[in-house]
Structure formats: structure tokens, C-alpha cells
Chains A and B, each alone.
Chain A
Amino acid sequence: MKLQKSLNSGFVELIFGPRWTYIAAVRNFLQKFLFVTLEDVKSADLISMAASELLENAIKYASEEGTKISVKHFKEDDTLDLAVENYSFSDNIKILKEEIEKVNIGSPEEMYLFKMQEAALRTDGGSQLGFARIRYETCANIKLDATSDLVKIVVSFDLTKIRGRK
């Protein structure tokens, strides 16, 4: 085995069981790690917020053990990919597909506001506010890659945009 020494960008991969208390631990670790890697507290805060939302989902909607999170920084492009994987049930994956399609259309602000109005009326545990929040707060691109019961959500951040956004 060889150690990859050529990396001049940050890379993280973590695998753990679906337990709620991992979320804050991973969120706070990522915030610190990204602050060192990106040298920008705003990007670190917002990306770790997004990671936290994705991990909550991966744990809430998991059908079996195993949650994987990875973060890849592409220094040349000034972009970063955050990916979270879990197993889930087909009913949930169907909702997930529809939700991601929905939040990707229209203006992020309008969608977030719409989802806020909707959230107040929901009586189940969910808010369906997570993806709309990620997109609105970070202008990121959210993609879903689902093959049978394995779900992979990839959120791509344009770091130039995040730093420049007021």
C-alpha cells in the first residue's frame, strides 16, 4: 500500500453506524478541518451545515447500518464536493428523487420561502426544509445517484461564490 502524497487539496472520508450523536461530532470536525483547508470560516461553516443536514437524513431514513461521508476539495477549480451515502427503502428514495428535482427548479430563495410556509403545516417529524436550505444558503448544486437501495447525494459547492456572497 502506498500513501497518497501528491494531494495538495483536502480529502476526508468517514464511515460510521447510523447514530444521531455522530452528527454533531462530524459537523464540528468538518468545520475545523475545512477551516484549515480552505482558510475561510464562511465556507467552513456553510459546508459543515450542509453535511450535518445530509447526515441527519442519512440516519433518519436509513434502512440498514452504514453511513459514509466524503469531502473532496478541487483546488484548481475552487470547488468542493460533499457526498453522503446510505441505504434506504424504495418509498423514501422515490420521495427523495422528487424532493431533489423540486428544489433544483426555480429560484433558491422562492423555494426556501415556499418550503418554510409548507413546513409550518406539517405534523409529522419532518420539515422537508433541508435541501431547500442547503441550496438557498450555499447556492450549491445537489445531485442524486441512487442504484437500487443505495443512495448517494452529492452536493457541489462553488467556493468563489460562497466567499463572494453577502
Chain B
Amino acid sequence: MTTLDIKNFITDKVKIEFIEETIEKVKLDFIGELDFENPESVVFPFFNEIHNKVISNKVKCVEVDFTKLEFLNSSGLKTLIKWIKTDITLPEDNRYKFKIIATSKIHWQENALKVLPMLSPLLIEIKII
């Protein structure tokens, strides 16, 4: 068991919680509505902290579960893409996998997220439930 020692991200509209923190996998649940005016300065630092600790702990997979995320604006989506990009541009040995869980019940999810694996088909996987 490893622990990244990062606090959950909690505001009145959105929660990003650590569900699992092992050497194999770090799992995050996204709950609520992520619609900040400037997510670049609000949530990107959180993603970046996870990124750095995932690398230093040599965690090999990050699972992001969106099935409880009712809304994500395009600038929030951009910060997620930015996180993914910082991973896929690392030297090969340091890279980790992204596993995205989405739901077809929340209708923006399938279309907005299913193209993400095209950024790097070997590292990014999406499961729509």
C-alpha cells in the first residue's frame, strides 16, 4: 500500500476523491459539476500534484471515474487533456496508463470523452458503462 498523501479536492459543487491508492493503481472519483471559470488555476495544480507523486511512487495506472460527474465544461476538459498530455510526453519509462470510466446515462460523456484515447491509444483506455 502506498499513499500519495494528497487531500481530496472538495468544493461545494465538485468533489474529486481518492478511492484507491496502491502501487498498481490510483483511482479517483469525480462527483458533481466541474464548471469553474478558470479551472487552469483551480484544478490543474491538483492534477499536477497527483501527476508528480504518481511518477515518484512509480504508480503505473491512474483510473478516473466520471460516472458521477454531471457536468464538465470545455475548459475543465482542457485541464484533463493537459494532464494526459504531460503524461504521454514523459520519457517512456515514467509514463503511466489512464483508464477513463464514463457512463452512457449522462449524455455529454460518451461523445466528449470517447476521443481521448486517440491522443495516445496505448496509454489511454476508456470504458463506457
Contact = CB atoms under 8 A, between A and B. Distances in A.
Contacts of B119: 116-117
Contact of B74 (A113, A120, A133): A133
Interface stretch (B17-25, B53-61, B92-100, B103-111): B103-111
Interface in A3-48: 20, 23-24, 27, 41-42, 45-46
Contact of B71 (A49, A60, A125): A49
Contacts of A137: 108, 111-112
Contacts, number: 67
B37 to A, nearest CB: 5
Interface in B65-93: 71, 73-75, 77-78, 81-82, 84-85
Interface of A, secondary structure class, is helix
Contacts of A122: 78
5 contacts: A24-B71, A41-B107, A133-B74, A133-B112, A137-B111
Given A45-B108, A116-B116, A133-B112, 16 more contacts: A24-B33, A27-B71, A45-B106, A49-B71, A49-B108, A52-B73, A116-B81, A119-B77, A119-B78, A119-B81, A119-B82, A120-B84, A122-B78, A127-B78, A129-B77, A133-B77
